Amino acid sequence: MSNDSFYKNNKSVNPQQRRYYSRFLLAVIAYYLSDMAWAWLYNIGNLDWLYVDTEIYFLLMALGVVLWSHYVVVYLGIKNAFSKFMTIAATVLFVMVIVAIPLNRLWGIMFWFDGEGVYHAGTARDVIFIYQAVFLLMSSVYTLLFASYKSKKQRQRNYTVGLAGMIMLVFVAVQVFFPTYPLYAISYMMGCCLIRTFVIENERDEYREHLEIALERELEQFHELRKAWNLAYKDALTGVKSKLAYAEKRALVDSQITKRTQKGLAVAVMDVNDLKVINDTLGHDVGDEYIKTGCRLICEIFKKSPVYRVGGDEFVAILEGDDYERRETLLATFNREIEKNRQNQGVIIAIGMSAYNPNQDDCYKQIFERADTLMYQRKKELKGQEAG
């Protein structure tokens, strides 16, 4: 037997099975205590307490049979008429003992002690043990016969329960002829050891299997969530951050501005020129490549800043840390690259940048609007250069 059966935080594949098994073990432990007390009282010759302990002995013995039958029915998943037979038969045994105990005080039908304190077995006691032997025989034969019709796991369970029942049957039958021998206690010990070896260990294996399956499912869900996150927070065309990610960043900046914890920050607003013309004349596939080319240029310049695609041809980079400190240099570098592209018929992107001013800005929108205004000014400037 193992005390891990009683720990409430010890998870089981089937909590109902563990509950019935724990109750059965408690009854077995109580029986052992009564049996040890009986041996001690018998040796010292305390007949009054010995008589009471013998009554408790029979009660716990019958209770163990009842709990064993309930456990077997639940553990093997028996849901036919035989399950009712087992529970009713075990209950009848318990009732027999309940009725026999008070009658025994009048006529000694189960046991009595003579004047020298010697224990004598009565007819009712033998009937009770024979009844148990027949009960164990029928339940064991049933579980063993029907084992071949079960799955591998269920077949192993049937064999375990059937073998345990047969072992207990042998010792119970012999106990009829040797009343003072601790054979019933030995039957419990061997039966419980067998159950401990096969049942509880198998439960742990089953739990580990269920845990592995659950972990696999959790891993699959994690991958699905990551895919969903990528779809939600990454722009499908360019791979930069999406409008949803941009909205969350805006909310974070607003919160930090409100709390006066926002440090250096600049917003760069960019717009890819001539996208509509390219889509209309060369097709959307060429237009998509044009957008991706422009996005690569943006990401190359603002390497340490998150870049967001906030519209069809609109991008925003939010500069913090090193990029914020070098914002003017980065802006000049960006415009030089655009000038090269203008001369080489490359992608043209208008940019406007504005830095956060703690004495002026109450929210992100104010920073963005200044940058957006500068971007449109730059866009007109580039258009004028193209016209010229």
Q: What is the pLDDT of residues 110-144, one digit of tens each?
A: 999 988 889 999 999 999 999 999 999 998 888 88
Range of lowest pLDDT (156-170, 185-199, 251-265, 300-314): 185-199
Task: Report yes or no on 231 lying in a domain.
Answer: no
C-alpha dihedral (359, 362, 368, 370), degrees to nearest 10: -40
159 has pLDDT over 70: yes
Torsional sign, CA 303, 304, 305, 307: positive
Task: Report yes or no on 236 lying in a domain.
Answer: no
Structural domains of the chain, count:
2
- Asked if 203 and 252 sit in the same domain, the reply is no
**Residue 307 — φ and ψ, nearest 5°?**
-115, 135
Number of residues that make up the chain: 388
pTM metric for this prediction = 0.52
Q: How confident is the model at residue 147 (pLDDT cuts 50, 70, 90)?
A: low
- Asked if 151 and 81 sit in the same domain, the reply is yes
- Asked if 207 and 336 sit in the same domain, the reply is no
- Asked if 93 and 195 sit in the same domain, the reply is yes
- Asked if 276 and 211 sit in the same domain, the reply is no
Specify the pLDDT at position 6: 41
Q: What is the mean pLDDT of residues 200-223?
A: 73
Task: Report yes or no on 137 lying in a domain.
Answer: yes
- Asked if 248 and 195 sit in the same domain, the reply is no
Token look-up 């039908």 returns 109
Task: Report yes or no on 232 lying in a domain.
Answer: no
- Asked if 9 and 137 sit in the same domain, the reply is yes
The residue segments making up the domain with residue 49 are 3-215
Question: Is residue 188 within 8 Å of residue 219, measured between CB atoms?
Answer: no
Task: Report yes or no on 291 lying in a domain.
Answer: yes
- Asked if 147 and 293 sit in the same domain, the reply is no
- Asked if 191 and 252 sit in the same domain, the reply is no
- Asked if 206 and 256 sit in the same domain, the reply is no
Rounded Cα distance between 178 and 182, Å, is 9
Range of lowest pLDDT (130-134, 181-185, 219-223, 279-283): 219-223
pLDDT in tens, 285-334: 998 999 999 999 999 999 999 999 998 899 999 999 999 999 999 999 99
Share of the chain above pLDDT 90, in %: 49
- Asked if 195 and 295 sit in the same domain, the reply is no
Share of the chain above pLDDT 70, in %: 89
Specify the pLDDT at position 198: 66
- Asked if 247 and 324 sit in the same domain, the reply is yes
Task: Report yes or no on 127 lying in a domain.
Answer: yes
pLDDT in tens, 86-114: 899 999 999 999 999 999 999 999 999 98
